[in-house]
Structure 1
Amino acid sequence: MTQWRPSLSLIAAWLGLLGLLALTVTIAYVPLGAANAVVALGIGVTKAALVAAIFMELRHRDALTLLFAGAGLFWLGILLWLGLMDFLTRT
């Protein structure tokens, strides 16, 4: 019976996610003012892109699969926008 070994890209993605986690925790204690949310969102988007590309294997898929993944993100953006507008317009 042969042992399964993770590929180099999986190990690199795991180490990248651990590094981004450490960066997220570090940034949480640094007073950046209004830029704190922007930096945190940037790190979060980077982590999501890394998970989608490596673990969901979107980098090896055809254009139609990427189109549907993008449509899901677009729909999520619409839902977040509508929720934000509801929150901002309440008195």
Structure 2
Amino acid sequence: MAEHASSHTHSSDEHVGHRVPLWVLAATLAALLALTVLTVSVTAWDFGRATNLWIAMIIATIKATLVALYFMHVRYDKPIVGLILIGSLAFVTLFIALTLMDAAEYQPYLSEFRESPPPGYTPPEMPGEPPPAGAAAPGSAASPGTASPPPGGGH
């Protein structure tokens, strides 16, 4: 009976998380901060709308990859976790791409609408704008050159 009794400090069913060395976390943080500085500094140059978007997306993808690999410990986990993450991101990318392609189909109609308002549309008056020439100020029925009664009925 004594031969079966052993003093194990842990069993094989316990899961111990991977401990990432502090220098790896510090290096990842430094890389993320450097990429953030790069993102901000790239905005100083105009490469064109599409190129600026691509540059920003590439930098953001690199930053997201660093966060997933080191801060979320995907690098140290089972390969299936990484595969699930990549598959999920691929489907999100696919859905966004399909939505953008559909939205591109309606751009001519949207730009046509923005260029000319629909028939019978009158824009609302904005507060603080002067009334059109010849119109009485709101709330006053007095003719030009005459004083209007004070607010509250003059009591």
Q: Shorter-chain TM-score: which interval? A: 0.7 to 0.9
- Look up the match of 1:65: 81
Aligned to 1:67, what secondary structure does the other structure show? helix
Letter in 2 for 1:74: A
Residue 49 of structure 1 pairs with residue 65 of structure 2: yes
- Look up the match of 2:42: 27
Inter-partner Cα distance in structure 1 for 2:22 and 2:46 = 38
Aligned to 1:72, what secondary structure does the other structure show? helix
Inter-partner Cα distance in structure 2 for 1:49 and 1:70 = 10
Aligned residue among 38, 55, 63 for 1:39? 55
TM-score (norm 1): 0.85
In structure 2, runs of 5+ residues without a counterpart are 1-20, 110-155
Aligned residue-pair number: 86
Shift in Å at residue 41 of structure 1? 1.3
Shift in Å at residue 65 of structure 1? 1.0
Which is helix-richer, 1 or 2? 1
Inter-partner Cα distance in structure 1 for 2:97 and 2:47 = 25
RMSD: 1.4
In structure 1, runs of 5+ residues without a counterpart are 1-5
- List 4+ stretches of structure 1 deviating above 3 A: none
Greater RCO structure (CA 8 Å; 6+ sep)? 1
TM-score (norm 2): 0.52
